[in-house]
């Protein structure tokens, strides 16, 4: 990690919750949780993670940058798919371990499965423990073909 | 953890992403991330975590249950404050490591600081790395007095 991407040290609970300094609570892996919602519809598009560099780049550029836990790599949303996210507003929560970005989603969707949102299945309520839980597809129409979008570039 | 709260084993990526079985990807601490949004306004109220039991109880009862990482304890939202959350819809994301619940928030707010939402500060965009980052309070009026709400019960 470059020393370039430094945030304020965390002070007292009062300072963290009521202060005007951004001092994120990065977890043991150096990440905060990021929720991206559609600036127009309010729907949650995706939940991902940011390390210090991704957070700093998102703030500076107004484009969403994330850190992939599986690939252990910084990535700009849309760098492969072309489906970037322009951030219209960023918020941080009380204890500063989560950020919420409202985004204008470029292209037909945010999800690598080819949907607008990653949350295309509902968990019907009232299901009891002890058995298996069933999902229902909802707003699940594919808006693009991921095989075409993520195909290796020649 | 009781054997009572068991979810389907995770299968192939195809099964996890395109299947109709709930098979959450709990992290090393046994948690999934949960985003709660206001069913009426769409605003993100809070980001928290659920273990298997919290997830099962939320599904069964339609009331939001979480797992506190700091207290290492299961809790029903509102058990101390009275500000519970009735879930109107639950969604799970593509890789099933995050859930989104739309909730009817009881009482004046979700945040322990006394606000409607935990996300009461904005991070102005365009700030450059290397210095300190400033926050702006937004929708930050206190809607209740946390000292009164969370006072020890006699």
State the number of CA atoms in the 13 A half-sphere of B75 facing the CB: 17
Nearest to B150 by CA among B111, B97, B106, B93: B111
Identify the pLDDT of residue A131: 80
ipTM above threshold 0.90: yes
- Cβ–Cβ < 8 Å for A146, A113: yes
Residue B46: which H helix or E strand, with range?
strand B44-50
Shortest Cα distance, chain B CAs vs residue A104, angstroms: 15
pLDDT tens, residue by residue, A47-73? 999 999 999 999 999 999 999 999 999
Report CA-CA distances (Å) from A105 to A41, A101, B128: 11, 11, 23
- Cβ–Cβ < 8 Å for B140, B115: yes
Query: Cβ–Cβ contacts within 10 Å for residue A96, how many?
Result: 23
Question: What residues in A contact B29, CB-CB < 8 Å?
Answer: none
Nearest to B84 by CA among B57, B112, B71, B103: B103
Q: Looking at the partner chain, which of B18, B112, B125 has a beta carbon nearest the beta carbon of A90?
A: B125
pLDDT tens, residue by residue, A21-47? 999 999 999 999 999 999 999 999 999
Q: Measure the CA–CA gap between B126 and B133, rounded to whole angstroms.
A: 10
The DSSP annotation for B60-102 comes to: HHSB-EEEETTTTEEEETTTTTS--EEEEEEEE-TTSSEEEEE
* Residues within 8 A of A (CB atoms), B 78-107 only: 87, 89-95, 98-100
Q: Which residue of A has its CA nearest to B128?
A: A60
- Cβ–Cβ < 8 Å for A85, A96: no
pLDDT in tens, chain B (154 residues): 456 788 999 999 999 999 999 999 999 999 999 999 999 999 999 999 999 999 999 999 999 999 999 999 999 999 999 999 999 999 999 999 999 999 999 999 999 999 999 999 999 999 999 889 999 999 999 999 999 998 765 5
Question: What residues in A contact B129, CB-CB < 8 Å?
Answer: 4-6, 56, 60
* pTM greater than the 0.90 cutoff: yes
- Cβ–Cβ < 8 Å for A43, A115: no
Q: Measure the CA–CA gap between B146 and B114, rounded to whole angstroms.
A: 5
pLDDT tens, residue by residue, A76-106? 999 999 999 999 999 999 999 999 999 999 9
Radius of gyration, alpha carbons of chain A? 17
Q: Looking at the partner chain, which of B17, B99, B135 has a beta carbon nearest the beta carbon of A92?
A: B135
Shortest Cα distance, chain B CAs vs residue A87, angstroms: 8
Please check whether residue B146 touches A, CB under 8 A.
Answer: no
Nearest to A52 by CA among A34, A39, A37: A34
């Amino acid at each position: 990690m470059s020393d370039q991407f430094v945030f304020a040290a965390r002070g007292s609970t009062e300072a963290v919750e009521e202060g005007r300094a951004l001092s994120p609570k990065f977890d043991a892996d150096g990440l905060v949780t990021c929720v991206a919602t559609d600036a127009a519809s309010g729907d949650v598009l995706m939940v991902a993670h940011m390390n210090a560099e991704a957070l700093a780049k998102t703030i500076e550029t107004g484009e969403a940058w994330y850190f992939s836990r599986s690939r252990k790599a910084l990535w700009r949303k849309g760098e492969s798919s072309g489906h970037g996210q322009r951030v219209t507003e960023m918020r941080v929560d009380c204890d500063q371990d989560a950020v919420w970005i409202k985004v204008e989603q470029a292209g037909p969707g945010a999800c690598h499965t080819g949907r607008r949102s990653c949350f295309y299945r509902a968990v019907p309520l009232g299901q009891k423990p002890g058995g298996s839980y069933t999902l229902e597809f909802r707003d699940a129409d594919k808006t693009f073909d991921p095989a075409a979008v993520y195909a290796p570039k020649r």
